[in-house]
Amino acid sequence: MGNRPTELATALDTLLAQQGVDLDVVLVGNGWEPSGLPAGVRTVHLPENVGIPEGRNVGARAVRGDLLFFYDDDAHLPSTDVLARLAVQFDDPRRAVAQPRGADPDGKPSPRRWVPRLRTEGGGAPGDVVVFWEGVCMIRRAAFDAVGGWPGHFWYGHEGIDLAFRLVDAGWSLEYCPDVVVHHPATQAARHTVFYRMNARNRVWVARRNLPAPLVPVYLGVWTAATLARVHEAEPLRLWFKGFAEGWRVNPGERHPMRWRTVWRLTRAGRPPVV
């Protein structure tokens, strides 16, 4: 969004310093026109902010290459081999996603949502997962295109869950690589004013788009109960229920309910699609 020039400069410098890979770098100006960037960085100017997932889609359409690396502008790469080490994961022809481990550069604890494991001790165990952190990740273009990319209309929140569900249902695998570290400030998602509304709306959309019909009320019932247990302030709850109602009122996009085989795969991984 052009409001973090210092962080963006570090992000680009450490990206352009990567070795062992061929880079085509595209910066999406989501509601701003980028200028004064290093050589080798192409830009796309969007006059209006179209939201995080659609901004990523715009970048994916503009960039060349078989692997897509999505990269928040306040992240940076602490070593010059991050991309090369992630790219090796795609020697497996069924690999769709490789996610590195996020670490706060000042040593603050990493948010729970960054680790695609139930147990987060030590950054979580490596290996096959069924969810991933969308802030910094590498995705095979063929897999990304085959399932339709990010749900651009989500604007903010749960787009990674939606994409992961579609990739897993299509038979692709997702890999967590905690030995590959990227730096990203540890922030709270609720700092955004749209968080509670879009958290609820997009949770409904994820269910309506991806789950078998019998699981939709169970999934949303569990998350409603979890929200009531966690959030006690009146205004956040009001916004959450407003978003929940919007999720039912507004078309969530094309529906492709996952197979029961996928439900079982998610369950075996400790992530049954009811929580």
CA 24 – CA 127 distance, rounded (Å): 28
Of 160, 187, 214, the residue at which a domain comes to its end is 187
107 with 119, same domain: the answer is yes
Render pLDDT for 89-107 as a digit per residue (tens, 0 to 9).
Answer: 999 999 999 999 999 999 9
144 and 252 fall within a common domain: no
DSSP codes joined into one string, 220-259: HHHHHHHHHHH---HHHHHHHHHHHHHHHHS------PPP
Range of the domain at 220: 190-268
Tell whether the model's pLDDT for residue 210 goes beyond 80.
yes
Q: Are residues 11 and 126 in the same domain?
A: yes
Q: Model confidence at 60, in pLDDT bands (50, 70, 90)?
A: very high
Alpha helix (H) residue ranges in 30-138: 52-62, 82-87
Residue 187 is predicted with a pLDDT of 81
Is the same domain home to 17 and 131?
A: yes
Q: Count of domains in the chain?
A: 2
Q: Which long-range contacts (CB under 8 A, 24 or more apart) does 119-124 make?
A: 122/178, 123/178, 124/176, 124/178
Q: What is the rounded CA–CA span in Å between residue 90 and residue 98?
A: 8
Co-location of 166 and 199 in the same domain: no
Does residue 222 share a domain with residue 156? no
pLDDT in tens, 157-191: 999 999 999 999 999 999 999 999 999 999 877 65
Residue 43 CA to residue 231 CA, distance in Å, equals 40
- Please name the residues in contact with 267: beta carbons below 8 A apart, sequence gap of 6 or more: 273
148 and 229 together in one domain: no
Residues 155, 62, single domain; the answer is yes
Among the candidates 159, 187, 215, a domain finishes at: 187
In a domain, 273, yes or no: no
Element (H, E) at 219: helix 215-230
Q: pTM to 2 decimals?
A: 0.95
Residue 19 lies in a domain: yes
Whether 70 is in a domain gets the answer yes
Please say whether the beta carbons of 99 and 133 come within 8 A. yes
User: Is residue 238 located within the same domain as residue 143?
Assistant: no
